[in-house]
Amino acid sequence: MRQRPFVILSYCLFMLIILAIPAQANISSLNEQVQEKISRQLAPAGPEGGINICRECVYDRAAVRDFYLSRQYTPAWSMDGQPGQAAADLVRTIRESAAEGLIPDHYHLRGIETMLDGLDADPSAEQLAALDLLLTDAFLVLGSHFANGRINPATIDPEWQIRRHNGNVLQSLRLALANNTIEEELRAMLPSNQIYAGLRQALTRYRELAAKGDWPRVPDGPKLQVGDTSERIIALRRRLAAENENVPTAEQENYFDEKLAAVVRRFQSRHGLDPDAVVGRNTLAALNVPVSERAHQIELNLERWRWLPKDLGNRHIIVNIAAFELILVENNVPVLPMRVVVGKPYRRTPVFSGTLSSLVLNPTWEVPVSIASKDLLPKIKKDSHFLAANGYRLFRGWNSGSSEVDPATVNWHAVRDNTFPFRLRQDPGPLNALGRVKFLFPNPHDVYLHDTPSRSLFRKDMRTFSSGCIRLEKPLELAMQLLRGTPLAERESLDAALATGKTQTIRLTEKVQVHLLYWTAWVTDDGIVHFRHDIYDRDLLLWKAMQQPPPRLIKQVAEL
């Protein structure tokens, strides 16, 4: 009789085990069914094979297939018939991609949320397989866009040739699932520098401003300056205040006082305008750009940062073409800023990175055929002494042994610009277009940094005057910085070398990365947002491309 309770307990445990077996078998069976569904969906279907899930196209079938092949097609995002925490983390990260200037619906957000909402307590294998595939594709595409940018810039602008840093997104997905670090792995792919972080914060602020409605418009009219009285000045004050500019109160709101002038100067400096405190045509145009356009401008420049390599180099040079500015950076600290002149709108400075390894003192200039035939030939025809007066020599060909030609023996009026048969070389001297020094970083565009005798151009706001190369405001200061540790780092020694008139090529002891970039919006260390005019109309092309869904690497021929 004493054993009766024990017998009853044993019997109960036995029955629980018996009853649990079918449930466990059902779970195991469901997982196997999901595995089978995924395997069948990703079976080889030729180069045109694709997957369409609830009207959502799997963008990269090949990468998705590689991922599941490495795990024998077992589901990645569900456990025991229900989506796991990783799925919720991914959905949240996709939603938050809007803060990066991206469009969450480009990463299956709507489809995934619809499928999650449609799951009941007993989902089918078809539902779980479809959800798994869509979540995997979303991670891979979003991760690729975080690491490399949403757009391949070369597809919209052949002059944009930045080296993209393709990360191993598949490996990141495996680590994220194994360690339950979906959000951390994805965010690690984004740029980690302060400018990107500042732009992201600025985007939030400008979107909040846009949500309140556009800021006040300053009516057209004559220029406004200190001492003026006008109802338009009231609108000016309200417009500046709407962007969180610190506009001091005034006894007369319609009066342009010195305190308002200081605010206008700050605004002009942030927009690359002459800070003269006069609200003329250019300042008025910048004031009246809608807040929504400024938010879009920030979105585009977040994208441009994602195109860049994460490591720009401990010592590097950044040229912001749109801002007409060069900055030498050492250990993330700007040490030498300067103004630059960039290419004309029809001879645009390209975007690319290169390695600066040498500079040339007292350089000669081998004039490109396009410049010789289009720019110089009309001047030669107009003035027979033009070549000699400006230090040019004429050669019959481009070989090193080409014979020199006396310009006076040429019938210039018979020379056509489309068949220009000569090579022009400008000797070193005060008139040389390259000035006293040029900086070489080999590239297929034949673009370099150089001095210029045309110093007055640096006083202009819009400095698009070159044929593609970068003219420097402070070339000797840059040379001394790059030659640090050598005798030529001293101004007296450098001046003496230049005074010889002799052409010298000097190798740098430390190579420097040069990045020619195009930013129309950025944030400085003090949190100030700067905007620039889109001088080459590159923003519009990028904006249109960003609104399109990601390219489909396959056609939609399979339906799940």
Give me the catalytic one of 106, 450, 515, 533.
Answer: 450
Cα-atom radius of gyration of the chain, to the nearest Å?
Answer: 32
Cα(first)–Cα(last) distance of the chain, in Å?
62
* 128 token code pair: 């779980």
Nearest to 180 by CA among 62, 79, 102: 79
Report whether 44 contacts 139 (CB < 8 A): no
Give the whole-angstrom CA distance, residue 395 versus residue 406.
9
**Positive or negative torsion for Cα 302, 305, 311, 314:** negative
* Residue 296 falls in the annotated catalytic set: no
Nearest to 526 by CA among 177, 41, 114, 202: 202
Burial (CB count within 10 angstroms: exposed 0-12, middle 13-18, buried 19+), residue 101: buried
Q: How many Cβ atoms from other residues are within 10 Å of residue 149's Cβ?
A: 20
Going by the DSSP 8-state scheme, the letter that residue 107 receives in this structure is G
Q: How many Cβ atoms from other residues are within 10 Å of residue 416's Cβ?
A: 9
Residue 494 sits at the vertex; the CA angle it makes with 493 and 498, to the nearest 5 degrees, is 120
Give me the catalytic one of 57, 106, 296, 469.
Answer: 469
Strands 351-361, 365-366: pairing is unpaired
Which one-letter amino acid corresponds to residue 108? H
Measured in degrees and rounded to the nearest 5, phi and psi for residue 508 equal: -80, 145
SS3 57: strand
Give the whole-angstrom CA distance, residue 75 versus residue 124.
13
Burial (CB count within 10 angstroms: exposed 0-12, middle 13-18, buried 19+), residue 94: buried
* Residue 469 falls in the annotated catalytic set: yes
* 199 token code pair: 């732009």
Give the whole-angstrom CA distance, residue 308 versus residue 301.
11
Per this entry, what is the length of the chain?
A: 560
Which residues have C-beta within 8 Å of that of residue 276, sequence separation ≥ 6?
Answer: 265, 268
Give the whole-angstrom CA distance, residue 202 versus residue 270.
14
Q: Return the active site residues.
A: 450, 469
